[in-house]
Amino acid sequence: MKRAFLLIVIFSIMHLTACVYDSMFCIPITNHTNDTILIYTAQCNDIDSVKTGVSSDWFFELKFDETGKLFFDESNDIIFPDSCALYCEPGGFRNKSLFISNHDKKGYFFVIELETAKNYTWEEIRRNKLFETLIITRELLKENDWKIDFPAFRNVP
């Protein structure tokens, strides 16, 4: 019994420490439009793969209310005109660690206007393509001093 308990404790500690990152690398995303927006991120160029969004203080999970509309915190998750959000990834090697988990080493961001999010369900947003897609490379970030200016990066191939 003691041996089983000891194994459980060891595996628990290993699991907890495996999730700890020694540093994070964050890039600011600035909204230079007149619209209040939400930005979601994915590992590929497919809005169906979105799991999180970027916010002013960290990130947030993709969630829906009972009607199928996006659920978000209006105090942190929305990005007002001329304000910033942060996109962060674990790792301290700057461009060497950014987008490393994406198969082609690019960042995929899906921008949705706040009014659209309030008036349409996620299914309607996806089906009717009521969003903009930003595809960001490390080279573009390096040229722009490691920041994303929206809408300057609109429709990047």
Give pLDDT tens digits for 69-108. Answer: 998 888 888 999 999 998 888 765 555 667 877 878 899 9
Parallel, antiparallel or unpaired: strands 52-54 and 59-61: antiparallel
pLDDT at 93: 55
Domain ranges of the chain: 23-150
CB 112 within 8 A of CB 40: yes
Straight-line distance from the first to the last Cα atom of the chain, in angstroms, rounded to the nearest whole number: 59
Parallel, antiparallel or unpaired: strands 24-31 and 148-150: parallel
Q: How far apart are CA 98 and CA 81, in angstroms?
A: 26
pLDDT at 154: 56
Q: How far apart are CA 130 and CA 119, in angstroms?
A: 11
Place of tokens 């009521």: 130
**Binned average pLDDT, 10 residues per bin, the chain of 157 residues:** 47 43 77 94 92 82 90 87 88 65 87 95 96 91 89 57
